[in-house]
Every structure is written in C-alpha cells, then in structure tokens.
Structure 1
Amino acid sequence: MTDHADLVRDAADALLDAYRDHAPIEPLAARFADHPLSTAYEIALAQVQDWEKQGDVVKGHKVGLASRAIQRQMGVDQPDFGHLTASMFHLEHAPIPAGTFIQPRIEPEVAFVLARPLRGPGVTVAEAAAAVDFVLPALEIVDSRIRDWKIGIFDTIADNASSGGVILGGRPVPLVDVDLRMAGCNLHVNGELVDTGAGGAVLGSPINALVWLANTVGPLGVTLEPGHVVLPGSMTAAVPVGPGDTVVATIAGLGSVTAVLGA
C-alpha cells in the first residue's frame, strides 16, 4: 500500500512534469478524495522546495479565490494561497516569452509590499496595514497544470494556487493615500475593455485578504517577510489571454500596469 509521503511526492512530481513539459495533467482530487486540504498544501510545498533546490527564491505569496466572481467562476467557496517565486516576476512592458504558460488567464490586483514581518495567528487589520510599505497596481497571470481548468479547491491548492506570473506597476503608492475598498478597476485586453471591478470585491477589502493570509500561514510556520509581495486576489473574473496579447489594468488611485505576452 502506497504511504502518504509517496502519494504526495508522486502528485508533486506529476505537477512538476507538467510545468517542464507544458502538458497539463488530469485532476488529482479523485485519488485524494479521503484526504484533507492540508494534503494539497503538502503537495504544493513539495514543489516549492524543489524550485528552491534549483535556485529559485520565494518572493511573496498570493491569495487565490478571494472574490465572489472568481469563486463562482471556479466553483469554490473559500480562498487559498500559493507561493510567488522570483522566476514568476516579469517586467512591465517587456514581452513575456511565448510558451511560458500552458493555459493562462489574467487578473488585475493590488500588490502589497511589506515593510515589516507579519506572522499569525492573531494579526489584526491595524497590524497588517502598519506592516505595508506601499501598494502597486499588478497583473497576475494564473495558469493551471490541470487539464482544461477542471479544478476544485484541492487541485488548485496542490497546483500552488494556480500561480503563473506577476507583473508589477512601477509607481509605489502609500497605503494611506488610497481607499482600496472603493478603488475601481478597468481591465483592457488589446485596447478593448473586457471587465471592471473594485477592491471591495476582494473579501470586502484587499487588506482583509492580507490579514487572512498572515493568519492562515502563520500556524504553518510561515512569516510574511519584509520586501515580499502579497497579491490579495483579483478584482474581476479571470480573463483568458494568449500570445501577442497586451493587457492593461487601471486602478483608481494607483495608476496602470501593462503586461505584454510575447507572440
């Protein structure tokens, strides 16, 4: 009988192979039907540890499935989190090489950059806000190593919260200078307005997602570190994109950020 550690390792290896081969795999959830969600996080962490052994570095975290729009789109009812590594960050306006992703979708977000460490449990909104150095407009490219995005909560957690890429805007804004709850967002793809949203769609306010993250990862031994980027969740539904697309998110009070997908 296959033991727990072997099951986790096999699933992590299958996802790592999908990254390498750009070939999605079938959903994992069926073979882990009797396992808690903590097993999915073990699978994700095994991949992160492999990336670190290869020289990649954790540069932050993301909260996924934070808005009602995304939860409805994905058929889930709770947030999750994933790790952001250095290799996932791409420069604004610089073409992202074709073939970087398998089945990408893009989401506009507010990025928190931390000045002080945050570690739960027990982190309050006030403590989270005090730990933020500044905020930036951001685009997150989500991607799934699961075929046709046929994911439930177990599969997206195991797949590092469907993380793909991050593009940050270049104008830091102090948190006190913007009301994130009321900040509206327009998302354009190739000059066409494809969706709108607001910060209040993200757990009532993006800062609530930061609190949720700190208090969720703290008991797992994870501290949100100074300088790290935290993506709190999408302000709109995720929009499919492909080679040659140019995406611009404009967020009130923060300005705009542009992602260019190489042809």
Structure 2
Amino acid sequence: MTSSPTPASTVPDLERYWQAADRLTAATRQRRPCPPVRDLLGDGDIAAAYAVQRLLTRAAVGARRRLVGHKIGLTSVAVQRQLGVDQPDCGVLFADMARAEDTPIDPADLLQPRIEAEVAFVLGADLDRPDLDLEMARSAVDQVLPALEIVDSRIAGWDISIVDTVADNASCGLFVLGAHRQPLGALDLTAMTMAMTADGQVVSEGTGAACLGDPCQALLWLARTAREFGSPLRAGDLVLSGALGPMVAVTPGSTYRATIAGLGTVTASFREDLSCREDLP
C-alpha cells in the first residue's frame, strides 16, 4: 500500500527549508532541473521561500562566493504574466555571476536560460533608514548603466509559483553590464525606451515605466524589503532593477543586444551548444 506524501504543514519549518534547499542545490550540482519546491513549503508561503533563499545564500558565502549586490525580479507586468505571478521578488548577486560583453557565455553554465534588459544601479550610499522614500533612493545612486540579466530556473520547465522563484534566488543566473556608466542626476528613467535584439532582430521592447512604474521605484521597494529582512542595501552594492520588457528564451550561438535610450547599449553573446550537434563524434 502506497502512503500519501506528508503535508508540508506537518513537517517542522527548518526541516522543510533544508529539504527545499537541498533539492535546488542538487539541481545545480547535477545540471538537471528539479520539481517545484512549493510542495515542501506551501504554495503561498513567501516567508518560507525567503528563508530557503537565505539558507542557500549563507551556504554560498560559506563556500567563499562573494556577494556584490541584489536583483529585483518580476517588476514587469509582461514578465509576471509570462510566469503567472503577481508581485515582485528579490535575490542576491554574486561576483561569479558576472560575464563580460566581449566573452561568449557557455550555455553549459545554465539550465533553462532566458534573457531580459534592465537598468543597473551602483549605490554610493547606504539605504538603511526607516523613513526611506523615492528621493532618498535616487540620491543614494552613484552610477546607472544598462544591463542584461540571464535568468535561469532550477525548476523543471519553468513550472514556478512565487514561492518557487523566491526560494530559487529569484531565478537568477548570470548578468552582463554595459560599459557606459553615468550619474543618475536628473535622468527620467520612466520615459526611457528599450529594444533588445537577437542577431539583429527585435525580440523585446519596453520602457522604464514597465518596471514598477519607475526603476527607481523598484530600487525603493528593494531597499525597504532588504531593510525589513535585516540586510539593508549598502554603498557599493550593485542592484538590477528588473525587466523593462518581456524576457525571451536564449538560443545558443546567438548574440543579444539591448539599447536603452539615454543609457546606452549592452551585449551578451552565447557559444553554440556543441553537445546538440549531430555531426560530432
């Protein structure tokens, strides 16, 4: 007689969190996507999902991966619709996630990559006050530049809920920063238009207003959220704003180029996935 799975609510919290963390860790290590973790955490338990993310972050830091900042996810309604969620989330960025514009990315470093264009902020001041507002968030920005985030899910088939993606470090994979940096100053990021091409063909378009109404508003949301979690944003942190338009699946061998009016361009190219070549021995 087959026994029924134990309901998540009857398993001690820390045990559930470690089970979910272990599942995601195994997917990364084995290079094989795993089933969703919402069955372990509860379909709407976002607090549990962030607890798993913190466990994974601590383990990564313990393995000497260096934290460099944060990413905001699910800020675009278009991306929320693509993934079936209705609120933003956040994750952390490690130094080894960065890739250079002039170096092709190996698809083998990823599982199910998709790509989106974003605004990147480099903070020049802490954002740790209890009365944070939009003006404070803007004044804390030292530099702003275009970025591409290569999002990736450890969950098979991108079958994710908000709980799955939060636990999975907001589905973060890699990122590429553009070369041109400038002060935020009086720039109006809401009015900036974005177009992303794949091998010269436009595959995604959007505006700054698609990112929670204003990428700086997304930064403010993150600053308040990070402070609530006890890890406020600090000077020197890199922050990715979230998508300005729909994300698209990555095709090995292709080159993606995003142009954000007023900020400049950023390019990410991918090596051909040689493992799929039928003519290889």
Q: Normalising by structure 1, what TM-score?
A: 0.97
Confirm whether residue 142 of structure 1 aligns to residue 132 of structure 2.
Answer: no
Give SS of 1:175's match: coil
**Counterparts in 2 of 1:220-235, with a 5 A limit?**
220-235=229-244
1:93 is matched with which residue?
Answer: 102
Alignment of 1:64-103 (within 5 A): 64-103=73-112
Counterpart amino acid of 2:200?
G
Give SS of 1:18's match: helix
Q: Give 1:46 shift.
A: 0.8
Judged with a 3 Å threshold, the aligned counterparts in structure 2 of structure 1 residues 121 and 19 are, in CA distance, closer, same or farther, namely farther
1:32-87 CA distance string (max 9 Å, x none): 22762110001111111111111101111011001111111111111000001111
How far apart, in 2, do the equivalents of 1:39 and 1:122 lie? 27
Contact 1:120 1:214 (8 Å CA) reproduced: no
Of 56, 68, 85, the residue aligned with 1:59 is 68
Aligned pair partner of 1:157 in 150, 153, 166: 166
Counterparts of 1:112-191 in structure 2, within 5 Å, are 112-176=121-185, 178-191=187-200
Give 1 or 2 for the bigger CA radius of gyration. Answer: 2
Q: Which runs of 4+ in 1 moved over 4 A?
A: none
Instruction: Between 2-11 and 131-140, report the one with greater CA deviation.
Output: 2-11
How many residue pairs end up in the alignment? Answer: 263
List runs of 5+ in structure 1 lacking aligned partners: none
Alignment partners' CA distance in 2, 1:260 and 1:20: 24
- Rounded Cα–Cα distance in structure 1 between residues aligned with 2:155 and 2:127: 32
Provide TM-score, normalisation by structure 2: 0.91
RMSD: 1.3
Q: Contact conserved, 2:119 with 2:147, CA < 8 A, in 1? A: yes
Q: Distance in 2 between matches of 1:248 and 1:55?
A: 32
Cα distance in 2 for residues equivalent to 1:177 and 1:3: 50
**Letter paired with 2:79:** I
Identity of aligned residues (%): 44
CA contact (8 A) 2:43 2:161 kept: no
Q: Give the distance between the partners of 1:62 and 1:35, measured in 2 at CA.
A: 21
Preserved CA contact (<8 Å) 2:97 2:175? yes
Which whole-Å CA distance do the structure 2 matches of 1:195 and 1:50 have between them? 35
Change (3 A) 1:229 1:32: same
Structure 2 gap segments, 5+ residues each: 1-9, 273-281
